[in-house]
Structures are given as structure tokens and as C-alpha cells.
A and B are shown apart, each in its own frame.
Chain A
Amino acid sequence: MATATQVDSRSVADSGDGHKRKKNALSDGQGRLAWILLAPTLLVIVVVAGIPVVMSIRESLFTTNSGVDPNTGLIAAGEKFTGLKNFTDIFAGQDTVTGSYGTMGRFVNAFLNTTFLTIVCVVLETVLGVMMALIMAKAFRGRGVVRAGILVPWAIPTIVSALMWKLIFDEAGVMNRILGSQILWLADTGSSFWAIVIADVWKTAPFIGLLTLAGLQTIPAEVYEAAKVDGATAWQQFTRITLPMVKPTLVVAVLFRTLDTLRMFDLPYGMIGAGKYRVETLSIFAYQEATQNRYGPAAAYAIILFLYVLLVAYLFVRLLGADVIGDSAPAKKRKRRRGEPDAKSAELPALETMGGAH
């Protein structure tokens, strides 16, 4: 996509290089026009995203007053500035809960839940998704049917699928009947974690499969033929050709799935419920705090989640993204160093995953 941008802008430039260079409706005053056209969108983004983020930072430095004001004898209202107390309280050891990882602060517990859910879900989704894509790529006929089937989990609202899986994982439900077991999936046990993993993987693995398939279809058949002539085994073809060539697509898909799973809310909330510490994610915890008027801590937790997401995105782009471009297109790499490092590697592929995001 990065190249497409460049080629496009260049072609516009080239057309302006001709005889009508001096007066050209295509290039004259473009900057001003562009900013005028972009203004509404940027304004909306600033208003609905930028300002709330700044407000969150302010909020995280305040604590809502509670209890009775000793001076007036009235129930305290308003809030007071408490600096970084909301952040330091995380490690103060109050509000401990017992989750899957022992007894610890509720925030740390939610943080660990979020992290492990994300790792397990994304790994399984990616493996399953790539397998699906490989199967679909081999297909001669019936791809339309499979594609239609794959869009089913994508189109079902997450909260509806959460309730659907709640029924499936019910104590007397069909999952226990199939397994011949009596597992209490929904009762905030270790199994609840896996129930959520299964539900999440069900919904998103096909999606990764769809995106990977799009990447697979761009690999020319000649490459495989050449490999066959050279006597490469199927496994070698997969690891030496297929994986490296779908990597750009796959990395971006996985990145966005990761970011999406880190902020998971609907699925555990709908399936297991709020206040279930074995599956409480950071989003659920922050939501619970916010709806109980504890805006300060809620904002602090949301900010930490935000920073966490940024860090993960950065690591993805640095560790995985940089490698991709270094391998396949040295010319691009040079440009990349000079210019915007991140926007490029993640530029347009982003949209593909955003559709599945909510």
C-alpha cells in the first residue's frame, strides 16, 4: 500500500509535469483544498477521540469524594486532585481478589487475564486461520460457499455470540453433553477462560483465514512450480515460500486482532458476567469502576490499557514489520527510515481488520 501511495502521488505529479504545469487544477491549491476537505473528519476525530483521551488523563489524577464530609456533615460531592494516587494504588495491595493466578490486586489480575487471553486467542486464531486459508486456496470449486460460511461468525454481533456460547457452555448444555462431562464453564472457574477462548477463536479465526487467503492469492504459481522443480517438499514450500510471502498481510491482521483482543469486553461480560475475576479483562474492570462513579481509577486503568496497546503495536511494527520490509523491499526500507515509520507498514491493511473489530 505504501507503494501505491507513492505511485499514485507520483502519477499525479507526472501529469502535472507536462505542458500545463503552471496552471493545473489538479495541483494548484491542493494543500488548502485538502485541509478544507479533511477538516470535518479531523474535527470529529479530535472531538470524539482526542478530547476524551485528554480528559481521561485529567480524570485519572482526580478522585471522587465519598463518605461524609467532616466539616459540613453532608455527604461529600465533587472530586479532589490526588496526583498519581490512582496509579500508585494499583500496587498498594488493597482490593485483592483471587483469580487464576493467585490472590493479588484486582488490577494486576485483570491485566494478567487480558494478557493471557490475548496470547492464547491470537495464537490459536492465527494457526487455525492460516490452515483455513491454505484449504481454501487449494479449492477448485465451492469457494463461494465457504466464503459465505466464513462471514457468518463475523456478522453475528459479539454480544449475541457471547449469549449463544453461554447457552452452549451451560452446565446442562450441549458442550457438556458432547464431552460427557459436568464442567462448570460459566461459574468463574479455570474452564471459563477456555470457554471464552473457544468463543473468541470461533468468531475470529475465519476472519484471519479470509485475510490470509487474500494474501495467498497474490503469490504467483510460478514460484511454487520453480520450487517443485528444485525438489522442495510441501513443508519447505510452506515455510520458505508461503509464510514469507503472506507475512505482510498476516502480520497486520494479527496485529489488529491482538489490539482487538486486548480491549475485549463484550465476550466475557456477556458470557460469564461482570465481577468474575478469572476472566475479568481490563476493559471490564475499568467499565465497572466507571459505572460505580469511580471515574478516577477507571480512567487510570483505561490509560494503562491504552499505553499497553500502543506498546504492543509498536513492538509489532518494529520487530515484525521492520523485518518484512527489510527482507522483501530494500528500496522501501530506505524511504521508510526517512519518512513516517509506522503509518506505512500498517497503512491500508488496517482497514481490513477494522471491519471485524467491533
Chain B
Amino acid sequence: MSSTTAREATESHLSQAEIEQLSHPKKSSKVLIGMIASYVGMGLIVLYCIIPFYWMIVSSLRLPNEGRSTELIPSPASVDNFKAVFSAGNNFGRSLINSLIISGITTALTLLLGIVAAYALARLRFRGKSAVLWLIMACSMFPLIILIPPLLKMFSSTEPFGWFPYWVNTYQAVILPSLSFGLPLAVWNLTAFFRQLPVELEQAAMVDGCTPGVAFRKVILPLAAPGVFTTAIIVFIGAWNEYLVALTFLQDPNRQTATVAISKFTGVTGFDTPYGTIMAAGVIVTVPLLIAVLLFQRRIVAGLTAGGVK
């Protein structure tokens, strides 16, 4: 009796090993090599993307006078650079607030206008729709620099724009031009999301007595919330990263956005580039975005590729 159990045990043990072997379906060595190669390839992609960023983080954690050091690991590690970023002379805290205000308002305005426009484009039939789509597309194509000469002249009240209020160093001077690239993006993105939602939902609501507006607000908008949210993140990141317009119109250090402030960091002597401080500021500006991006990566990728796969 006991011997049979033992035999059974060995048998089952053997068969377990077999099962283990079988559970990995027989692969030719070619397939195996392919798999290894794909993992190696993926590792390389990740390294490719991460290493320069790693260098930024490492450089920010060195002692301030070792900005150019090429040691792979900072020794000794120090957060002095991060303290230096917020030293009074840099106005960096203020610039972060400015960035938040400008990006926040840009995002809010963009969404407000974009949702309404996207609803019309996704749901309504009307003449000239393709012309509108084309116009919005073209708006995202043209180079931002073309806005700079006339707007700079206008906002600085240079003749013949003496009548125009002096807008240099105001938030609106940056927010308005930023709409020109935020809005097309938002309209496209939201149109794609609204189109994915079945029109029957609205129709059902309307049969139940809702007006189209109410049906949209109570039925479609809540369902499209993920799309709206994704659009908000993408637009916000775009506005947060904007540099050219902010550089042109915000010269007062108290009004500068974070991206402009970083590019204007100077060392104590004024000749030596304070790399450590710059890298620390770069990390501070980037990390909130990275956290948001990593948390919502699925949605962001979906948002970025929504149109491409259809």
C-alpha cells in the first residue's frame, strides 16, 4: 500500500516535472532567441529613455560646486541644489505659481471652448464642417513664431498700436497665444472621444424629454469624463512646457513662468553655469508631470493615439 503511494508520489512528481515542461510549449530555439531579443530590445528602449533623465537627477543631487562632475553616483549626495533653487535671487517659487496660473487658466479656457465645439463637430450635421475641421487643423500647423512679431509690437504698445494696453508681463499675453495651440488639440481629442460614445444614449434621453443640451450635459459629458480628463492633462502639459511665448512676453522676473526662469538661472559669479541648480529646478518642474503621466499613462497613450488607429 505504502509502496504504491510512494510510486504514485514519484509518478506525480515526475509528471509534475513533465507538466512544467509541457506548460512551456515547445519552442524552437529561434522563438526563444526572438523572445530574449525582444526583452533585450525593450530594456534598451527603457534605458534609452531613462538614462539622460537619470543624469539630470544625479546631477541635481551633487554638491553645488560639482555641477559638471561625471561620477555616476553623487558622492556625497546633497540636496543643497534644491535649496539653492528656492533661494531668493532665483524667484523660482514665484515662477512655479505663475506657471500654474497660466497653464491652469489656459487648460480651463481650452476645455470650456473645446467641449462645446467638439460636441458640435461630433454630433451635429451642418454645412462647412470640413472647412471648420481644416481651419482648426491648419491652426495647429503654423509656426508659433509668426505670432511673435505682431503680438510683441501690439502688447508693448509700439506705434501704430499706441492705443493697445501695455500687456508685456501680463498673464493674458501668454494665455491668449497659448490657446492657439491648445484649442485645436482639445477640439480634436474631444471630438474623437464624443464620437466613440453611441448616439443612441442621447436619443434615449431625448425620447425621455431632455433637450439636446441637457442630454449632452447629463448623459454624454459624464461618460466622456475620461476623455475630458485626458485632454486636460495633455493641454496642461503643453501649456506648462511652453517656452517661446513666455520668453518673449514675460520679462519681469516676478511674472516669469518656470521654464523661462530655469533658462535664466545664473551662477553667483554670473559666468559659471550653475548646472546643479538648473538640474534641480528641472527635476522640480518635471517630476509632477511625470507622476501624472505615469499614473494616467494608459489614458494618455489612448488620448495621444486615438485618431491614429482608426
Query: Pick the contact of B42 from A44, A146, A286, A306 — CB < 8 Å?
Result: A146
* CB within 8 Å for A351 and B146 given contacts A34-B124, A140-B35, A172-B68: no
Query: Pick the contact of B48 from A160, A167, A202, A289 — CB < 8 Å?
Result: A202
Q: Determine if B126 and A357 form an interchain contact, defined as CB atoms under 8 angstroms apart.
A: no
- Say if the beta carbon of B86 comes within 8 Å of chain A: no
Q: Determine if A358 and B242 form an interchain contact, defined as CB atoms under 8 angstroms apart.
A: yes
CB contacts (< 8 Å) of A37 on chain B: these are 116-117, 119-120, 124
- Say if the beta carbon of A319 comes within 8 Å of chain B: no
Q: Determine if A305 and B143 form an interchain contact, defined as CB atoms under 8 angstroms apart.
A: yes
Q: Tell me the bound Cα distance from A194 to B211 in angstroms.
A: 59
**A287 → chain B, closest Cβ, in Å?**
6
Interface SS, B side: helix
Interface residues of B in 43-61 (CB under 8 A from A): 45-46, 48-50, 52-53, 55-56, 59
- Say if the beta carbon of B87 comes within 8 Å of chain A: no
- Say if the beta carbon of A352 comes within 8 Å of chain B: yes
- Say if the beta carbon of B12 comes within 8 Å of chain A: no
* CB within 8 Å for A148 and B199 given contacts A174-B55, A355-B303: no
Q: Determine if B145 and A151 form an interchain contact, defined as CB atoms under 8 angstroms apart.
A: no
Q: Quick check: which of A225-233, A320-328, A341-349 contacts chain B, the rest being far away?
A: A341-349
Q: Tell me the bound Cα distance from A342 to B183 in angstroms.
A: 20
Q: Determine if B53 and A259 form an interchain contact, defined as CB atoms under 8 angstroms apart.
A: no
Binary interface encoding of chain A residues 261-290 relative to chain B, with 1 for a CB under 8 A from any of its CBs, else 0: 011011000100000000000110011011
Q: Tell me the bound Cα distance from A172 to B308 in angstroms.
A: 43
- Say if the beta carbon of A4 comes within 8 Å of chain B: yes
Q: Determine if B285 and A160 form an interchain contact, defined as CB atoms under 8 angstroms apart.
A: yes
CB contacts (< 8 Å) of B38 on chain A: these are 135, 138-140
Q: Determine if B148 and A298 form an interchain contact, defined as CB atoms under 8 angstroms apart.
A: yes
Q: Tell me the bound Cα distance from A306 to B237 in angstroms.
A: 25
Chain A's closest residue to B286 (CB) is A156
**B contacts with A, residue count (CB < 8 A):** 114
Q: Determine if A173 and B135 form an interchain contact, defined as CB atoms under 8 angstroms apart.
A: no
Q: Determine if A38 and B242 form an interchain contact, defined as CB atoms under 8 angstroms apart.
A: no
Q: Tell me the bound Cα distance from A310 to B141 in angstroms.
A: 8
**A349 → chain B, closest Cβ, in Å?**
4
Interface residues of B in 67-119 (CB under 8 A from A): 67-68, 70, 113-114, 116-117, 119
- Say if the beta carbon of B34 comes within 8 Å of chain A: yes
- Say if the beta carbon of A71 comes within 8 Å of chain B: no
Q: Determine if B117 and A41 form an interchain contact, defined as CB atoms under 8 angstroms apart.
A: yes
Interface centre among B131, B211, B275, B309 (most CB of A within 10 A): B309
Q: Determine if A25 and B126 form an interchain contact, defined as CB atoms under 8 angstroms apart.
A: no
Q: Determine if B212 and A25 form an interchain contact, defined as CB atoms under 8 angstroms apart.
A: yes
Q: Determine if A59 and B189 form an interchain contact, defined as CB atoms under 8 angstroms apart.
A: no
**A253 → chain B, closest Cβ, in Å?**
7
**B37 → chain A, closest Cβ, in Å?**
8
CB contacts (< 8 Å) of B241 on chain A: these are 157-159, 358
Q: Quick check: which of B1-9, B21-29, B217-225, B292-300 contacts chain A, the rest being far away?
A: B292-300
* CB within 8 Å for A9 and B140 given contacts A135-B45, A358-B242: no
**B136 → chain A, closest Cβ, in Å?**
7
- Say if the beta carbon of A164 comes within 8 Å of chain B: yes
Interface centre among A160, A265, A283 (most CB of B within 10 A): A160
Q: Determine if B70 and A13 form an interchain contact, defined as CB atoms under 8 angstroms apart.
A: no
**A209 → chain B, closest Cβ, in Å?**
8
Q: Determine if B149 and A286 form an interchain contact, defined as CB atoms under 8 angstroms apart.
A: yes
Interface centre among A259, A265, A358 (most CB of B within 10 A): A358
Q: Determine if A340 and B240 form an interchain contact, defined as CB atoms under 8 angstroms apart.
A: no
Q: Determine if B39 and A151 form an interchain contact, defined as CB atoms under 8 angstroms apart.
A: no
Q: Tell me the bound Cα distance from A157 to B46 in angstroms.
A: 19
- Say if the beta carbon of B195 comes within 8 Å of chain A: yes
**B28 → chain A, closest Cβ, in Å?**
14
- Say if the beta carbon of A339 comes within 8 Å of chain B: yes
- Say if the beta carbon of A291 comes within 8 Å of chain B: yes
Q: Determine if B125 and A135 form an interchain contact, defined as CB atoms under 8 angstroms apart.
A: no
Chain B's closest residue to A2 (CB) is B310
Query: Pick the contact of B125 from A30, A52, A79, A151 — CB < 8 Å?
Result: A30
Q: Determine if B56 and A164 form an interchain contact, defined as CB atoms under 8 angstroms apart.
A: yes
CB contacts (< 8 Å) of A244 on chain B: these are none
Q: Determine if A352 and B307 form an interchain contact, defined as CB atoms under 8 angstroms apart.
A: yes
Interface residues of B in 214-262 (CB under 8 A from A): 234, 237-238, 240-244, 248, 259, 262
Interface centre among B141, B212, B278 (most CB of A within 10 A): B141
- Say if the beta carbon of B163 comes within 8 Å of chain A: no
- Say if the beta carbon of A127 comes within 8 Å of chain B: no
Interface residues of A in 34-63 (CB under 8 A from B): 34-35, 37-38, 40-42, 44-45, 47-49, 52-53, 55-56, 58-59
CB contacts (< 8 Å) of A168 on chain B: these are 52, 55
**B35 → chain A, closest Cβ, in Å?**
7
Interface residues of A in 296-341 (CB under 8 A from B): 298-299, 302-303, 305-306, 309-310, 313, 339-340
CB contacts (< 8 Å) of B279 on chain A: these are 163-164, 167
**B79 → chain A, closest Cβ, in Å?**
18
Interface centre among B34, B70, B146, B183 (most CB of A within 10 A): B146
Q: Determine if A44 and B308 form an interchain contact, defined as CB atoms under 8 angstroms apart.
A: no
**B167 → chain A, closest Cβ, in Å?**
13
Q: Determine if B307 and A164 form an interchain contact, defined as CB atoms under 8 angstroms apart.
A: no
Q: Determine if B185 and A351 form an interchain contact, defined as CB atoms under 8 angstroms apart.
A: yes
Q: Which 8 A-B pairs have the closest CB atoms?
A: A348-B307, A351-B188, A55-B150, A263-B143, A135-B41, A214-B305, A157-B241, A41-B117
29 A–B contacts, CB within 8 A, in A order: A15-B199, A33-B120, A33-B124, A33-B212, A37-B116, A37-B124, A41-B183, A47-B176, A56-B146, A56-B150, A140-B35, A150-B45, A151-B294, A151-B301, A155-B293, A202-B52, A206-B48, A252-B308, A270-B263, A290-B148, A302-B143, A303-B146, A305-B143, A306-B143, A344-B130, A350-B188, A351-B188, A351-B192, A354-B188
15 additional contacts, CB 8 Å, given A170-B275, A286-B148, A354-B188?
A38-B121, A45-B139, A59-B150, A135-B38, A136-B42, A149-B49, A152-B49, A155-B293, A164-B56, A173-B68, A211-B308, A283-B144, A342-B134, A351-B185, A358-B241
